[in-house]
Amino acid sequence: MEHILVSACLCGKNCKWDGGNNKNQRLLDYMESMKGKAEFHEVCPEQMGGLSTPRPASEIRVEDRRVVNTEGVDVTEEFERGAELALQVAKEFGCTLAILKERSPSCGCHGIYDGTFSKKIVEGKGKAAELLIANGIRVIGESEMENVIL
């Protein structure tokens, strides 16, 4: 049985910063098709790190990798704690793959917002994606599922 970590918001959980979700029907269909072959483990690193929902949006600053929200509060500690806890789940179940929400300061695995809240994308990874990759877990974004898995 394969074990796969997934961003909870992609599965329809209302854990996004604004109280909504990023439900991805293709992912849900894939999960359904893999019943009996793979187990999926939903995580929301930001909630796991102790942040409430809804919460102010946050971005990672390019210059120092600190995570700061739209109110100017530094929430790096919460993001790093959430990343550690998501890694713990991945290790507990032996996950080799994570399908995570793109561009998120926690879950983004390629580009992320640049910390200026101007919708500008820069190279970089979210805190949880970065930690998972550093621990040997393959991380892909929701738009890559077709090429990589399906």
CA quadruple 56, 135, 91, 81: dihedral sign:
negative
58 sits near ligand SF4 (criterion: CB under 6 A): no
69 sits near ligand SF4 (criterion: CB under 6 A): no
Our CB check for ligand SF4 shows the closer of 69 and 104 to be: 104
Q: Which of 4, 5, 16, 59 binds ligand SF4 (CB under 6 A)?
A: 16
76 sits near ligand SF4 (criterion: CB under 6 A): no
Q: Are 100 and 139 in contact (CB under 8 A)?
A: yes
Give, to the nearest 10 degrees, the angle between helix 127-134 and helix 76-93: 40
81 sits near ligand SF4 (criterion: CB under 6 A): no
45 sits near ligand SF4 (criterion: CB under 6 A): yes
The alpha helices in 1-40, defined as continuous H runs, are 25-33
Listed residue (128, 129, 132, 112) closest to 57, CA to CA:
112
Q: Tell me the one-letter amino acid at 101.
A: K
* Binding-residue pattern over the window 98 to 117 for ligand SF4, x denoting contact by CB under 6 A: ---x--x-xx----------
Listed residue (117, 121, 89, 130) closest to 103, CA to CA:
121
Our CB check for ligand SF4 shows the closer of 36 and 58 to be: 58
46 sits near ligand SF4 (criterion: CB under 6 A): yes
**Site residues (vs ligand SF4, CB under 6 A):** 7-9, 15-16, 44-46, 101, 104, 106-107
